[in-house]
Amino acid sequence: MARFGASMLDDIEEELFSREQLQEIVARIGREISEDYKDKRLLLVSVLKGSVVFMADLMRAITIPAQIDFMATSSYGSGTTTSGRVKIVKDLDIDLKGYDIVLVEDILDSGRTLSHLMELLEMRGAASLKICTLFDKPERRQVPVQPAYVGAVIPDAFIVGYGLDYDERYRNLPFVGILKPSIYA
């Protein structure tokens, strides 16, 4: 970890998932998706920015043909809790008709963003639609959203690293850790 600035590492209260643990999670989910979609027209849709690291590793762990696309939403601003309003910042580039979509997200907490995206993508004619989330925080759920693929269920803590951020920082950490509350309080 020497290559990371001391201040960035000092902001982490506890490491939750090491680089090796994350690799194991991604490999497991990749095997599951490869098996479930072996005879399907798979489209992985990454919800930017948080899921980009997970998506990059996940698509390499999938052993069947798959296409990818990206969406960007905004519901947090620079805070730590969702505003409840979902804004599409970057939309998909392809027509969804006939695709079996796996919506790839970094973390599922309130469920508001994914619920909104699920409705939107269903209206666009996807053959099927499932959610894949690296981390699930069911304690925070405000709307009924059920992921098909879950890396790990985590406690209600503010986590960063491996693509997850606080105010656009910490995404480049190769592990996932709990951010010290004093940083965002």
Tell me the mean pLDDT in the region 34-61: 95
The pLDDT assigned to 72 comes to 87
Q: Is 10 within the bounds of a domain?
A: no
Q: Is 179 within the bounds of a domain?
A: no
> Across the chain, what does the average pLDDT equal?
89
CATH code, 71: 3.40.50.2020
Asked if residue 77 has pLDDT above 60, the reply is: no
Residues serving a catalytic function are 109
Q: Is 7 within the bounds of a domain?
A: no
CB neighbour list of residue 86: distance below 8 Å, 6 or more residues apart: 73, 74, 75, 112, 113, 116, 117
Domain count across the chain: 1
| Residue of 78, 72, 148, 69 whose CA lies nearest to 108 | 148
Which pTM value belongs to this model? 0.89
The pLDDT assigned to 41 comes to 96
Q: Is 131 within the bounds of a domain?
A: yes
For residue 21, give its domain range. 15-164
The pLDDT assigned to 81 comes to 52
Q: Is 119 within the bounds of a domain?
A: yes
By the 8 A CB rule, do 75 and 87 touch?
yes
Q: Is 6 within the bounds of a domain?
A: no
